[in-house]
Amino acid sequence: MADYTHADKKRSLSNDFEAQDSDSDSATYAINALIAEDNGHDIKLRTMSWQRAAWLLAGDQICLAIMAQSWSLSVLGWVPGIITMVVAGVLFYITSMTMHRFIMRHPQIKDICDFGYYAFGKSRIAYEFTAIMLLLNNIMLIGFHVLTGAKVLNTLSDHSLCTVIFSVIVTLMGIVMSLPRTLNHVSFMSMFSAACMAIAILLFLIFAGTEDHPLYGYNGVYPAAGPVKTYAFPLEGTTWVAAMNAVLNITFLWVPQILFPTFISEMEKPQDFPKALAVLTGISAFLFIVPPAIGFRYLGQYATAPAFGSLASTVHKKASFAFVIVPTVIIGVIYANVSAKFVYGRIMGKSRHAHSNTVLGWGVWIIVMTFIWFIGFIFAEVIPSMGDFLSLLGAAFDSFFGFIFFAVAYWQLHKTHLFSGLFRSVKTVTHIFVMMCGLFLLGPGLYAAVKAIMDDYSGGVNPAFSCANVAI
């Protein structure tokens, strides 16, 4: 009888959510009901303050991809490069706020799959399609971080072991660090992750500014491509595919929203997410533009991705790149946590094991987490060019998770009054532009990513599970 009453209560609560209006009082009522339900569980998820959320966001965003932006500037030049960075940042903030408003309309959303379900009119097809994209995107990114960790260890040790062994070491570290079930605990790690990446960036800038010249770039060892120079627009001979991949490299950095619904669902006050977002946007705007611009100033056409590889001194390269191992593993942990929660929820459903400290519950969690990292490890070993495949993911998936989803969500929120007044009209036109950006990435962007992969494969690739040195 108790189980029946509990089930009835949950169905009633779900129906209440569907009946809620979008005003703040209704959202507060629904959120308080969710928090009260969560407080009755052994494992409480909705415990993260907005300050902790800000650290978690920063830990995810302050990553190695920042050090690839100098290369993007070297391809695009100052004017197109900086414009792309600024536009991407503005659209990131706008779409993230739209996401938050939509989630406040549907507070029961737990992840990006739920978001897709409600944004596309409670479509089960949209839910399952989003689930496939979520797992592919996240597990491929985990694989990329396994490979990056192997690069760091190769660089620091002068390739003292087979690269596969280094990848195994990173994978085992990731599994152990991924065991905490709540993002509130993971946010502790994010503080160290952000700090270590900031130190790595600072050291790189100091070394790049003090060295006489870079060591090499993709056009040859210095001074094969002439003296270091910067330029306003792409150099003559820059292909459309190269320029498009440089743009994808920038947008990939600015599109982390696939994780945001899960982050919001574990906040004690989801209403405060805009505070954490404001902190993240300020930090990101500085780190995503200023260090890459300084790097381009000193590396010019010799900029590589990551930019550490262009440093002339091996000591400088190791000293700065060493700190990257921390964010490499911890960001992998964040993506693993979000992925595991989705898979775990599908397996355990509404059983008590899903939110209680039971042997079965923890056993399934550990198995799921281990399996996710294992698949990421396999991807890292069998895909010859992870960087190109991430461009492919950026075009195929970020077009949805960074743009299309939020244009559709905006339409769902305001479809009855899209042009009711100047302010609403401006926002509607902005979201039409967001949709166009998403479709552009999905079309020409996807073509450019596929073409880059084909070009790399035509030049020969490393075999799977290779011991080859991948140091920068």
- What is the residue type of 78? W
Compute φ and ψ for 359, nearest 5 degrees: -60, -45
Indicate whether 350 belongs to any domain.
yes
Q: pTM value?
A: 0.90
Residue 16 domain flag: no
- For residue range 90-99, list pLDDT tens digits in order: 999 999 999 9
Average pLDDT (150-164) is 94
Element (DSSP H or E) covering residue 216: strand 216-217
How many Å apart are CA 124 and CA 304, to the nearest integer?
A: 43
| 220-221/216-217 β-pairing | antiparallel
Question: Is pLDDT of 40 > 50?
Answer: yes
Please state, in angstroms and rounded to a whole number, the distance separating the CA atoms of residues 286 and 223.
31
Q: Please tell me the total count of domains within the chain.
A: 1
- pLDDT value of residue 407: 97
Say if residue 305's pLDDT is above 80.
yes
Would 251 be classed as within a structural domain? yes
Residue type at 408 in one-letter notation: V
User: Does residue 132 carry a pLDDT above 70?
Assistant: yes
Q: What is the pLDDT of residues 257-281, one digit of tens each?
A: 999 999 999 999 999 999 999 999 9
**Residue 375: inside a domain, yes or no?**
yes
Mean pLDDT of 367-389: 85
Peptide bond into 306 cis (omega under 30): yes
Can you list the positions of beta strands (E) in 218-339?
220-221
Domain assignment of residue 221, yes or no: yes
Helices (H) and strands (E) in the chain, counts: 21, 2
Longest dimension (CA), the chain: 81
CA atoms of 216 and 373, how far apart (whole Å): 34
Residue 228 · residue 301 · CB < 8 Å:
yes
pLDDT for position 459? 67
Work out the average pLDDT over 152-181: 95
- Work out whether the CA dihedral 377, 383, 386, 392 comes out positive or negative: negative
Answer whether residue 275 is part of any domain. Answer: yes
**SS3 at position 267:** strand
Confidence of residue 386 (pLDDT cuts 50, 70, 90): low
Rounded average pLDDT over 111-135: 96
Predicted pLDDT at 380: 87
Tell me, yes or no, whether 387 lies in a domain: yes
**Of 45, 62, 46, 65, nearest in space to 54 by CA:** 62
Which whole number is the average pLDDT over 70-90? 96
Range of the domain at 409: 49-458
Would you say residue 471 lies in a domain?
A: no
Specify the residue for token string 């923890």: 362
| Residue 439 DSSP SS3 | helix
Mean predicted confidence (pLDDT) in 248-252: 88
Q: Are 337 and 175 in contact (CB under 8 A)?
A: no
Lookup: tokens for 28:
């507060």
Using pLDDT thresholds of 50, 70 and 90, give the confidence band for residue 384: low
Cβ burial 229-248 (10 Å sphere, 16+ → b, else e) = ebbeebeeeeeebbbbbbbb
Band (389; pLDDT cuts 50, 70, 90): low
- Pick from 234-238, 261-265, 468-472: least confident: 468-472
Q: Which H/E stretch holds residue 88? A: helix 78-105
Instruction: Give me the residues paired with residue 267 across strands.
Output: 48
CATH number (domain holding residue 130): 1.20.1740.10
